[in-house]
Structure 1
Amino acid sequence: MLRDIWLSLRREQTLALRNPAWIGIGIMQPVLYLFLFGPLMERIVDNTPGFPPGSAWVILTPALILQLGLFSLFAGFGILADLRSGALERMRVTPVRRLALLLGKVLNAGIQLLVQALLILVLALLVFDLEAPAGGILLSLLIVVMLGIALASCSYALALKLKSEEAFIPLLNTILLPVLLLSGILIPITTGLAPGWLYTISRINPMTHIVDAGRASFRGDFAMDALFTGCVVLAVMTVLSVWWGARTFQKENA
């Protein structure tokens, strides 16, 4: 199994290295938020009660890194391209296990996400006034990689079910926008800032708890309920997502 996973991962990385520009393209939005929204966020945090503890950069940077993980929902376009070109059919007739094919793809998504997150972190540390403990940074990187693996697995499962870009794109937009807005990535959704009904709805969104965990790790609050809750939510989501992705991958490629 490990050899099959490595073969699948190596194929995906080879394809990614042929077009490394996508690494830079993927981080353009977070970089723009850092430069154009970050200075404004400093003023907002200093003059508005209700924000979580920490500086503007401690609040904004981990959220932007996790936003990268949220965009792993677009990973399914890769498998749709494989379906169209016949590459998936050719892989299906090889002795490589179906689960290994999926795990190679999602691990590649996690590695690309890790590289992008590191670039954002280096930029925030060198250019902006970000101060975060090393342990918190490492934990946040683990969180974003797990998030990427979970959402990439879901994306592959959805893509294999739909088998059409025309159906996949509107479905992603329908899912992504409310999840993004309710996660508090740009402006934290707290009891001191949001109306009661909006705060209640945001608690239903798993991404909200994961973003809270990322911010807690950057503050070094390792004993906080937010960090524990977010990590538990992420662990459950990752297990269920990989299971669903693997089951769909095996069923659709039987």
Structure 2
Amino acid sequence: MIRHLSLFTGYELKKSFSNPVWPLFGIIQPVLYLLMFAPLLKSMTRGGSTVEALQLFTPAAMMMIAVFGSLFSGFGLIGELRNGSVERYAVSPAWRPAIVLGRVTRDMVTLVVQAILVVVVAWLMGLRIGIAALLLMLLLMAATGLFASSLSQGLALAVRDENGMSQTLNLFMLPVMLLAGLFIPIAFAPHWMQVVAKINPLYYAVEAGRALFTGNLSAVEIPIAFALFIVLAAITTAWSVRSLRRVAG
């Protein structure tokens, strides 16, 4: 089982980095957000400093990587479904769940690399964070990314069409981003948005990240975010593996 998972993970990583342009674009986008958007938040902080703005936006940028970077990973699976690669993998002696879990593990590795780069850039801009808080943030990113990647693989196996999948993702992407307070903290939103945001799991992840970056390790949003995304990741992973078994017969 572990051997098959490592083989599929290595294969997916080799494919991803065989053309370094796309991973590079995935890394550059959150860094550009950090460099160009974080300074705009200075006026929304109590002290009006760059460090406070970075404490607001850096965890949001990391969650943006975890969710929206992983959500689009299923498009490659649709292409492999179309050309018959998935069926060939499925009839091989390999452990079938590794076909999906290898892709999910690849996404976890990629997002950790991207997150570390974002933290390095934020550190160069003046942000400081404790080791414990950083490790907790990376673990929360992993749980969030696992949910998003598994959801993407499950959607790809269910929809099997790029247009249908992109329309589904685009329908929910903007409201989820806004109600999570990714760009502007939800505290600045109208009251009705603050109420609706409480049903958005990503809101708790972003708030937990901001608490970690300000050193508030006792914030209630931290255990809530971990609990939510561990459960959601377990559900979507089970769904994607079950969908693969259905496709493979």
TM-score by length of 1: 0.92
CA RMSD in angstroms comes to: 1.5
Corresponding residue of 2:239: 244
For residues 96 and 175 of structure 1, the distance between their equivalents in structure 2, rounded to whole angstroms, comes to 35
Which amino acid letter does the alignment assign opposite residue 81 of structure 1? G
Secondary structure at the residue paired with 2:109? helix
Secondary structure at the residue paired with 2:72? helix
Corresponding residue of 2:32: 32
Deviation at 1:151, TM superposition (A): 0.7
> Is the alpha carbon distance of 1:161 and 1:150 closer, same or farther for their aligned partners in structure 2, counting shifts above 3 Å?
same
For residues 215 and 150 of structure 1, the distance between their equivalents in structure 2, rounded to whole angstroms, comes to 20
Equivalent of residue 180 in structure 2, options 179, 183, 195: 183
For residues 135 and 154 of structure 2, the distance between their equivalents in structure 1, rounded to whole angstroms, comes to 29
Equivalent of residue 102 in structure 1, options 93, 96, 100: 100
Deviation at 1:89, TM superposition (A): 2.0
1:88-127 to 2 correspondence within 5 Å? 88-126=86-124
Q: What is the total number of aligned residue pairs between the two structures?
A: 246
1:17 maps to 2:14: no
> Do 2:17 and 2:23's aligned partners in 1 also have CA atoms closer than 8 Å?
no
1:55 maps to 2:36: no
Deviation at 1:47, TM superposition (A): 7.0
Give the percent of matched residue pairs that are identical in Structure 1 and Structure 2: 36
For residues 8 and 137 of structure 2, the distance between their equivalents in structure 1, rounded to whole angstroms, comes to 27
Secondary structure at the residue paired with 1:171? helix
Deviation at 1:173, TM superposition (A): 0.3
Which amino acid letter does the alignment assign opposite residue 224 of structure 2? T
- Structure 2, unaligned runs of 5 or more: none
For residues 123 and 47 of structure 1, the distance between their equivalents in structure 2, rounded to whole angstroms, comes to 22
> Do 1:133 and 1:219's aligned partners in 2 also have CA atoms closer than 8 Å?
no
1:1-254 to 2 correspondence within 5 Å? 1-46=1-46, 55-71=52-68, 72-126=70-124, 128-190=125-187, 193-254=188-249
Which amino acid letter does the alignment assign opposite residue 154 of structure 1? L
For residues 136 and 55 of structure 1, the distance between their equivalents in structure 2, rounded to whole angstroms, comes to 16
Deviation at 1:120, TM superposition (A): 0.8
Secondary structure at the residue paired with 1:95? coil
- Structure 1, unaligned runs of 5 or more: 49-53
For residues 38 and 224 of structure 1, the distance between their equivalents in structure 2, rounded to whole angstroms, comes to 23
Which amino acid letter does the alignment assign opposite residue 126 of structure 2? D
Q: Give CA-to-partner distance per residue, 1:159-208, whole Å, 9 cap, x none.
A: 11111112111111012111111110111112xx2222111101111110
